[in-house]
Structure formats: C-alpha cells, structure tokens
Amino acid sequence: MVTSDMVRLGLIDGDGIGPEVVRAAREVADEALGAAGAPAAEWVRLPMGQGAIDEFNDPLPLVTLHALAELDGWILGPHDNASYAPEFRTFAPPGGAIRKRFGLFANIRPARAFPGVRAVAPETDLVIVRENTEGFYADRNMFAGSGEFRPTPDVAMSVGVITREACTRIAHEACALASARRRHLTIVHKANVLPMTMGLFRDVCYEVAAGYPDLRVDDEHVDAAAAHLVRAPGDYDVVVTENLFGDILSDLAAELGASLGTAASLNCSRTQAMAQAVHGAAPVLAGHNRANPAALQLSTAMLLRWLGSHRKEPTFTHAGERIERAVAAVFEAGIATADLGGLASTSEFTEQVRARVHRW
C-alpha cells in the first residue's frame, strides 16, 4: 500500500478505445492533482485484454493481479472479450474477475444531466448503488465454479445468491451516500416474485437504514422503478439494488441524463477502488481520436474523491471535484465529442478539461 506522501495508482489500458480514454483520464488527473496541491501520482502500467493475451497468453495475467494487490486504486479501461480467440472467451471477463478477486463489493454509478448536453430528462441527478459481488452474476456469485450451468443440452439454469452480509455492507454504502446528498434512499427489488432472495435484500436494507434516522426511505419493484425512472427521474436521489438490476437501471439512467459516454462508475471495497467507465471498448472508434473520454475522466474524479476520504487527504478530494467541475464546464461551453453531437476530438476535449481544472 502507499505511504502518506505519495499515491501509486494502476493504469490498465484494456482494448479498443481503452488506451485513448485511459491516457485522457491520466492527463486530467495529473493536472487536477497539481492544481489542488495534492501529492503527485506514481502511475503503474499493467497489462489486460488482447495485449496481455499476446504477451502472457492470458487476458488478465497474474503479474497484473499481483501488482493490483499493492495499490490503493487503479483506472481500468474497457475490455472487448467478445473479440478474443475462442479459447479465451471461456475466461471470466477481466473487469468482473478483478471485482471478485479484490472484493470490490460496491459499484457506485451516478447519472446526471449536464447543461450544454441534450438530455431526455434534464432533471436527472441520481446515484445507483449496485451490489457487485453476488445476485445472478455467474462469474462472481460462487466461491468455485460458475453459478450458471446446463444439466442437459436443452436446459440452462442460473443460481441467484443473496446474503445478509453483502446486503448489509451495500446498504451502509448507500445510506452514507444518501446522507451526504438529498437524504432520500430508494430500495429496488423484486420481492413480489422472489420473496426469499429479494425479500432478504429489501428487509436488510430497511434494517440498516433504520440506523440513519435523517433519511427518507422507500422501496419499489424493479419493473415499477424502471417506468418511474423514465417518467420522473427527478424523484430519485440514491437507489440501492442488487447486481443485475443495478446494471440495467444504471444504463437506463445514464441515457436519461446524457449517454453512456458520460456514465461514470467506481467499484470499491473498504480498502481499494477502481475507476471504470460504464461504456464498452467501441473497437470501431479505436485509434481515430474520436472517443468520448468524459466517462472515464469522471470515474477518475470519483477515484480521487474516494482516496481523499479514505486517506483523509482533502487535496485528493479537491482534485476530484476540480475534474467534475471542469468536465461540466466544457460541456456547458458547447464542447463535446461526436457521440454527443459535437466536433471535438478525444485530445481536444481533454485539453479543454485540463485548462479548466485550474479555475477553482
């Protein structure tokens, strides 16, 4: 782990547009750390994806996993495991494998509209807190083996796992976040048809929330929540839900606010955190300097804020805030990449963000 006067952070390029957006995130982070008077980051570059297959015959080699264990945090670029050779597609997707190995149990996914960016619902400003370790995700809900299997050639089955321990810790994350925002927590579940598993999730979240008396707490079935999000996203502040529901609802919420090109996320435990944009590798854009770097830059801002909180170092928090404000200011100035209807390249957008981190 890092010492008090420096921070070592991992850089994992991944596939497709990964190298371009990871570089853009690092450049903005360095600029913001300097502007905030924070200790400089020592960046540790690590292989993953097709490049790791070429070098190590493994999309997520042990050299990367061993190095990550010594870091407080890292930036993860997107992976394109669907394009790997058939023998490597049976591996767990690298992002999921990292989450499982390091117990990154919370996936924090904000969704907000930005002035200057066309939004389906301009009032969108919410955070989805997704339990990240179990549910119906077969790549991470078992100690060994997979939670998905085929007992016969014509039957496929999936096991959903919900535990009191996992529900308790994600509920605390969500309650703490809601306490720092507008003090409204919504528990999303499907207990009407899955009363034992989803009922446990709902009930434990309510039990934990009782320890946060300043919160207004309610719950909704996931199908009703999806409809409600489309109709009135401004009704939501913090949503806590299980793995699969959180994955789906966060993509929906991102599109209401802007697009996946602005959808940030942080995967974290109590000791480590990983910045990872919600979007994929977009191989058709790779190498053309056209990718939108905003989502990973905003994810990196979340990582710096997390570091500031966990290391009790306010300059890291200030650096993260500078990035968030700078990205918003660039959008408000009418500067955006092509996916948002703009003309800026990846590097041009990044230069505009770098210039604006010095304004606060």
Question: Amino acid identity of 226?
Answer: A
Those residues with Cβ within 8 angstroms of residue 238's Cβ, 6 or more apart along the chain or in another chain: 126, 127, 128, 129, 174, 177, 178, 181, 184, 185, 186
How confident is the prediction along the chain (360 residues), in pLDDT tens digits per residue?
444 567 999 999 999 999 999 999 999 999 999 999 999 999 999 999 999 999 999 999 999 999 999 998 999 999 999 899 999 987 778 998 999 899 999 999 999 999 999 999 999 999 999 999 999 887 777 888 788 889 999 999 999 999 999 999 999 999 999 999 999 999 999 999 999 999 999 999 999 999 999 999 999 999 999 999 999 999 999 999 999 999 999 999 999 998 889 999 999 999 999 999 999 999 999 999 999 999 999 999 999 999 999 999 999 999 999 999 999 999 999 999 999 999 999 999 999 999 999 997
Show the tokens assigned to 359.
């304004």
Considering only CA atoms, which of 320, 290, 288 is closest in space to residue 304? 320
Number of domains composing the chain: 2
| Host domain of residue 167 | 119-257
Domain co-membership, 203 together with 95: no
Which bin fits 314, alpha (ψ -120 to 50), beta or left (φ > 0)?
Answer: alpha
The C-alpha atoms of residue 87 and residue 91 are separated, in whole angstroms, by: 8
Helix (H), strand (E) at residue 26: helix 18-35
Domain co-membership, 123 together with 232: yes
Domain co-membership, 126 together with 253: yes
Residue 271 lies in a domain: no
Catalytic residue list contains 312: no
Catalytic residue list contains 251: yes
CATH number where 57 lies: 3.40.718.10
DSSP at 344: B
Residue 341 lies in a domain: yes
Domain co-membership, 60 together with 130: no
DSSP letter string, 288-335? TT----HHHHHHHHHHHHHHHHHTT-HHHHHHHHHHHHHHHHHHHTT-
Instruction: Quote the pLDDT of residue 122.
Output: 95
Instruction: Quote the pLDDT of residue 316.
Output: 97
CB–CB of 278/251 below 8 Å? yes
Angle 233-317-19 (CA atoms, 0-180°, nearest 5)? 80
The residue from 190, 219, 237, 339 that is catalytic is 190
Residue 79 lies in a domain: yes
Domain co-membership, 234 together with 130: yes
Q: Interhelix angle for 197-209 vs 164-180, to 10°?
A: 40
Catalytic residue list contains 54: no
Within 10 Å of residue 270's Cβ, how many Cβ atoms? 11
Domain co-membership, 65 together with 162: no
The residue from 30, 125, 139, 251 that is catalytic is 251
Residue 58 lies in a domain: yes
Domain co-membership, 129 together with 43: no
Catalytic residue list contains 100: no
Residue 109 lies in a domain: no
Domain co-membership, 129 together with 75: no
Residue 60 lies in a domain: yes
CB–CB of 177/209 below 8 Å? no
pLDDT digits (tens, 9 = 90+) for 281-317: 999 999 999 999 999 999 999 999 999 999 999 999 9
Residue 332 lies in a domain: yes
Residue 11 lies in a domain: yes
Q: Which residue has 């921070």 as its token pair? A: 7
| Long-range contacts, 190-195 (Cβ 8 Å, 24+) | 190/221, 190/222, 190/223, 190/245, 191/221, 192/221, 194/160
Domain co-membership, 128 together with 253: yes
Catalytic residue list contains 237: no
Residue 268 dihedral angles phi and psi, to the nearest 5°: -150, 155
Chain-centroid distance of CA 248 in Å reads 13
Domain co-membership, 127 together with 246: yes
Question: Amino acid identity of 192?
Answer: N
The residue from 137, 219, 237, 339 that is catalytic is 137
Instruction: Quote the pLDDT of residue 139.
Output: 74
Domain co-membership, 93 together with 157: no
Angle 61-64-44 (CA atoms, 0-180°, nearest 5)? 150
Domain co-membership, 350 together with 319: yes
